[in-house]
Amino acid sequence: MSTTSNTDTAGAAAAGEAPVQLNRPKPVPKPGTWISAAVVTVLGAMFVHALVTNEKFHWDTVWFFFREVRVVRAVGWTLLLTFLAMAIGIVLAVTTAIMRQSSNPILRWVALAYLWFFRGTPIYTQLVFWGALSALYQKLSLGIPFGPELLTFKTTTVFTPFVAAVLGLGINEGAYLSEIVRSGLNSVDKGQSEAAGALGMSRGQILRRIVLPQAMRVIVPPTGNETISMLKTTSLVLAVPFTLDLTFVTNSYASLTYQIIPLLLVAAIWYIIITSILMVGQHYIERYYGKGFDPDKSSASSGRGLSARQQAILDAHTTKDNPFLEVTP
């Protein structure tokens, strides 16, 4: 390239003509970007100044209770409630989503009844019911209906406030996650299941190895939102009552010290920190399960997100649209 340019320049000079100067492209000016950046910077500085200079926020009190032992322990209990409830919800969601697609009408109607009840009643009411279970039934037993009881135990020894809170949150969450999982399963083309069945794979193998890996890219984003929502929903476990979560502990300190605003800020800061970490985790999980589904974006970022085999197929330009029908995480 450079040899040709030098030859043309030398030929033009020998002919007595001025050398050709190539235009250097300049980026198109975008004043709107700079104006919006300036406006956001000014508004942000005003907001920070209003927070820092207002003595009524009592930032020294905020910093003290932010590190307080009971508050930090309450953060741990809140995280434990969130993850256990989401685990129960995910198991129930996958189960009911599969039941909804079953050829057995009994399974379909059982799944619909579960969704109808737990989506039709408020979560606060459900938590109150779980907390009052020991008052309704002093003991629970396993055995033959209208016959002998094989196993009997006191309700209060099994359904502690923590267990009742986890079950109440998890069972309610499963009803909402079920529709998310079902939409993800329906997003996978049925032809792939039929092709896998023709190869001799069982229905369980098709679900685990063909359908679910591809459905995850549809399931993960709303599930991440549900996890963040569950983090804040744990503030309702007072209805059980469970009194070790972050909201209850900070409200207790606010009632004792009459420092309502500082303790609200403590809870808000902790929730924002946890939410930020969850959002980062959600981003990486989405990128992991989205491998191969956006070849243009992946190739533009130096092949990140594609395996060597997928990138080679993409670079060969022998396929149309998206050739990566097989995604195995």
Which of 89-93, 108-112, 119-123, 305-309 is predicted least confidently? 305-309
- At 24, the amino acid letter reads R
Query: E strands within 41-162?
Result: 139-143, 149-154
Does the structural domain 58-290 have CATH classification 1.10.3720.10?
Answer: yes
| Cβ atoms of 323 and 314 closer than 8 Å | yes
Q: What is the mean pLDDT of residues 18-30?
A: 68
The pTM of the full predicted model, rounded to 2 decimals, is: 0.75
Sign of CA dihedral 81, 229, 188, 325: negative
**Is pLDDT at 199 greater than 60 in this prediction?**
yes
What own/partner pairs with CB < 8 Å and gap ≥ 24 does 2-9 have?
A: none
- What share of the chain has pLDDT > 70, as a percent? 81
Q: Where are the domain boundaries for CATH 1.10.3720.10 in the chain?
A: 58-290
Tally of CA atoms within 13 A in the half-sphere of 37 that contains its CB: 5
**Is pLDDT at 271 greater than 70 in this prediction?**
yes
Contacts of 131 (CB under 8 A, 6+ apart): 161, 164, 168, 239, 240, 241
Gyration radius of the chain over CA positions: 30
Rounded CA gap, 114 and 145, in Å?
22
Which SS3 state, helix, strand or coil, does residue 144 take? Answer: coil
